[in-house]
Amino acid sequence: MSKYGRLEVEEEVFRLGRDGAELRPFKVSAGVECRGASLGLQRALADFGAEESYQKAAWRVQEHYGLELSASAVRRWTQRHGAALEQQQAAQRDPELPAEAGAAVVIGELDGSLIPIVETGQPGGDRRKARVLKWEEARLALAHPLGSVTPCYGATLGPVTEAGAVLVDCTRRAGATRQTYLHCLGDGAAWIIQQVHAQFGQQASYLLDFYHVSEYLAAAAQRIAPTASRHWLAEHQEHLLHNRLEEVLAALKPHQEGAELADAEAPVRVCLRYLSNHRAWLNYAAAREAGLPIGSGEVESGHRSVIQQRLKIAGAWWRRENAAKMIALRIHRANGDWQTYWESVRQAAA
């Protein structure tokens, strides 16, 4: 039996290490702490944790590195770097466009999609009994110069004004200045249209996503010409593409349903109202003549690949603050800044 207890041995080892002896605790020589992780391991954990569930990420770490870690360990490190990126993105966000010359035309898109959020009760009680499940809108913005296929992404769980600021920052990173023409697209959500005009004024135009409009037309076509709906739809899509909106409205009016029917049963009336209310943002002829896109499928695809692919996996419910961290992680990866971030972390730790 040693005359030293465990704590006495550890203290003696630290003393010997300070005195220059070769014997040192591993955590001192390796520069790690209890429950800590090297930067390489942290990067692997955040990498896997940003792509799939924390449990599956733990399995991947074991498969590739032979390290048996819990899902909570993966979650802890993933969220830690997500929080750092969230703060970094907020600090670097610039809601003002520079004055100097930049890209001639920048495409901007903005859209929202719902993600699952869970709220629990206050500490001290049974928080599970006070749990509330709801859906909140994650707002995604993207921008790129005309002709580019590499967008700059930004996202927020904040209010619509913050989404507008995110869109401005995306256009700035895409090369927009105060002299740039901004061609913005999206669906008919009032908050998107309002933010485009509030943030850019006369510098930007807004165009309603043509394929979103076509969904309203297609529903009306089924009611008006059920046996020839494709032909009717194609004909009136062509009218819209050539800015002949009045012809489309004239074709819809004789078939609109009565007020006694709910909107769900009145596709013609709904389409007529939608086109009438959004007539200011249907200038497809000018956009096509200028070689500009008429659909916002890019941002809708971005929602699926950047946000929904991780935050809407089966069974996942997120605390709001953790969802924001994960969104920050995935935005950084989508923007191609992953390597840059870890280089900065490594330099800060040196």
Write out the two tokens for 77. 């490190």
E strand or H helix at 154, and its extent? strand 152-156
Confidence band (pLDDT; 50, 70, 90) for 7? very low
- pLDDT above 50: residue 209: yes
pLDDT at 250 over 60: yes
Phi, psi of 331 (to 5 degrees): -65, -40
Mean pLDDT of the chain: 90
pLDDT of residue 3 exceeding 50: no
Q: In what order do the strands lie in the sheet with 132-145?
A: 152-156, 132-145, 105-119, 181-186, 204-208
Q: State the pTM of this model.
A: 0.86
- Is a pLDDT exceeding 90 seen at residue 15? no
326 contacts 43 by C-beta, under 8 angstroms: no
Query: Which CATH number applies to 99-208+296-318: 1.10.10, 3.40.30, 1.20.120, 3.30.420?
Result: 3.30.420
Output the CA–CA distances (angstroms, integers) from residue 48 to 291, 313, 320, 343, in the order listed. 40, 14, 21, 18
Mean pLDDT confidence for 62-83: 95
Q: What is the mean pLDDT of residues 178-193?
A: 96
Q: What is the pLDDT of residue 127?
A: 59
pLDDT for 39: 93
Minimal CA–CA distance to 59: which of 50, 80, 49?
49
d(CA 280, CA 208): 9
- From the list 296, 219, 304, the residue with the least C-alpha distance to 263 is 219
Residue 142 CB coordination number (10 Å): 28
**Pair 325, 86: CB distance under 8 Å:** yes
Q: What is the largest CA-CA distance in the chain?
A: 100
pLDDT band at 130 (very low <50, low <70, confident <90, very high): confident
Residue 260 to residue 103: CA distance in whole angstroms: 52
Please write the tens of the pLDDT for every residue from 33-44.
Answer: 666 789 999 999
Phi, psi (degrees; rounded to nearest 5) at 137: -90, 120
101 touches 303 (CB < 8 A): no
The ranges assigned to domains in the chain are 6-91+337-349, 99-208+296-318, 210-294
Strand residues in 18-131 grouped as ranges (E):
105-119
**How far is it, in rounded angstroms, from Cα 164 to Cα 199?**
6
Q: Amino acid letter at 279?
A: R
Please state, in angstroms and rounded to a whole number, the distance separating the CA atoms of residues 185 and 283.
Answer: 12
Other C-beta atoms closer than 10 Å to the C-beta of 5 total 9
The residues that bridge with 142 in the sheet, in sequence order, are 109, 153
The number of beta carbons lying within 10 Å of the beta carbon of residue 105 is: 16
